[in-house]
């Protein structure tokens, strides 16, 4: 489904990703773990075309996309739930959802998003900026679903949420997986990663230092991750 091969990404002269390779199988959840500043967001931004890699390839269902502008990458079927949610604070919930809608036959509609997030329906006329952190996260996921993606990239969806809301987000991700959506999840929350992952990557200083199926995500790997300096 998504195949990232040996990408090198820079900010100006600063070389941030040093040959990252990762893969997301159709209908599965791959998790990218790593401490702050290790290149997780940069990996997602390379995939979505915000900071295209200088070297390497990114293929979606066999078609290379690394030279395309981000609006075309989005159209090709990659959705992003950005870090910090980034909803429009001065638009209502409904307006926020409609701004990203890309209709697809049998796909996500505002009605289907409201079915998944009844709370958003209740708050559809509220301004985005007046929502709680958890509601904003629901809205951010809802906005990405409205683009009708084949694969969803989620950048630390648990960040800043209460344990109760983190459980809610986990439930939603599981539901989306049941619907067949493929996901690449960036997380620092180990428990959440262990709960959701089919396959795990650990990124350290722009390099993948571990990869393996979730079953291999045992104590040794946890300890290795926790012992990494930030
Ligand atoms: N716009 C930018 N310009 C220059 N350097 C940047 C920019 N964004 C990130 N960096 C640098 O790139 C490196 C990787 O950052 P990135 O945000 O990808 O890490 P991360 O693993 O997602 O961490 P976090 O969880 O803190 O977001 C860091 O050293 C960071 O300072």
Q: Find the CATH number of the domain harbouring 187.
A: 3.40.50.300
Last residue of a domain, one of 118, 133, 148: 148
Residue 151: strand, helix, or coil: strand
What tens-digit pLDDT sequence spans the chain (230 residues)? 999 999 999 999 999 999 999 999 999 999 999 888 999 999 999 999 999 999 999 999 999 999 999 999 999 999 999 998 899 999 999 999 999 888 888 899 999 999 999 999 999 999 999 999 999 999 999 999 999 999 999 999 999 889 999 999 999 999 999 999 999 999 988 888 888 999 999 999 999 998 999 887 776 667 766 666 54
Kindly state if the Cβ of 11 falls inside 6 Å of ligand 1. yes
- Give the global pTM: 0.93
Kindly state if the Cβ of 84 falls inside 6 Å of ligand 1. no
Do 31 and 63 reside in the same domain of the chain? yes
- Give the domain extent around 103: 84-148
Do 34 and 72 reside in the same domain of the chain? yes
* Residue listed under structure tokens 């409609």: 98
Do 69 and 183 reside in the same domain of the chain? yes
Do 49 and 95 reside in the same domain of the chain? no
Question: What's the Rg (C-alpha) of the chain?
Answer: 17
Do 70 and 43 reside in the same domain of the chain? yes
Do 39 and 103 reside in the same domain of the chain? no
Last residue of a domain, one of 108, 124, 148: 148
Do 61 and 8 reside in the same domain of the chain? yes
Ligand 1 centroid distance, CA of 38 (Å) = 7
Contact 224, 202 (CB under 8 A): yes
Distance, in Å, from the CA atom of 102 to the CA atom of 145, rounded to the nearest integer, reads: 9
| Alpha-carbon dihedral angle through residues 204, 137, 218, 221, given to the nearest 10 degrees | 10
| pLDDT at residue 226, rounded to an integer | 67
Do 49 and 156 reside in the same domain of the chain? yes
Ligand 1 centroid distance, CA of 37 (Å) = 5
Last residue of a domain, one of 122, 148, 174: 148
Do 41 and 155 reside in the same domain of the chain? yes
Long-range contacts of 64-68 (CB under 8 A, 24+ apart): 66/7
| pLDDT at residue 128, rounded to an integer | 95
Do 169 and 209 reside in the same domain of the chain? yes
Do 35 and 100 reside in the same domain of the chain? no
Kindly state if the Cβ of 42 falls inside 6 Å of ligand 1. yes
215 Cβ contact list (under 8 Å, min separation 6): none
- Give me the number of domains the chain comprises: 2
Please give the DSSP secondary-structure letter assigned to residue 68: S
| pLDDT at residue 126, rounded to an integer | 96
Q: In the chain, what is the greatest distance between 2 CA atoms, to the nearest angstrom? A: 49
Ligand 1 centroid distance, CA of 42 (Å) = 6
Do 222 and 156 reside in the same domain of the chain? yes
């Amino acid at each position: 489904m998504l195949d990232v091969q040996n990408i090198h990404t820079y900010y100006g002269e600063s070389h941030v990703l040093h040959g990252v390779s990762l893969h997301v199988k159709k209908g599965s959840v791959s998790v990218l773990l790593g401490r702050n500043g290790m290149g997780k967001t940069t990996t997602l931004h390379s995939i979505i075309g915000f900071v295209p890699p200088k070297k390497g390839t990114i293929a979606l269902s066999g078609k290379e996309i690394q030279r395309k502008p981000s609006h075309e990458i989005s159209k090709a079927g990659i959705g992003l739930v950005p870090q910090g949610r980034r909803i429009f604070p001065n638009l209502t919930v409904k307006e926020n959802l409609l701004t990203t809608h890309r209709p697809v036959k049998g796909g996500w509609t505002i009605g289907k998003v409201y079915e998944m997030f009844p709370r958003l329906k209740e708050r559809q006329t509220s301004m985005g900026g007046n929502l709680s952190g958890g509601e904003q996260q629901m809205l951010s996921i809802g906005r990405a679903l409205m683009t009708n993606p084949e694969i969803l990239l989620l950048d630390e969806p648990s960040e800043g949420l209460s344990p109760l809301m983190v459980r809610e987000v986990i439930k939603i991700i599981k539901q989306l997986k049941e619907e067949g959506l493929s996901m690449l999840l960036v997380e620092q929350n180990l428990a959440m990663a262990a709960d959701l992952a089919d396959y795990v990557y650990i990124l350290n200083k722009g390099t993948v230092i571990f990869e393996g199926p979730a079953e291999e995500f045992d104590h040794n790997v946890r300890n290795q991750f926790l012992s990494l300096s930030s």
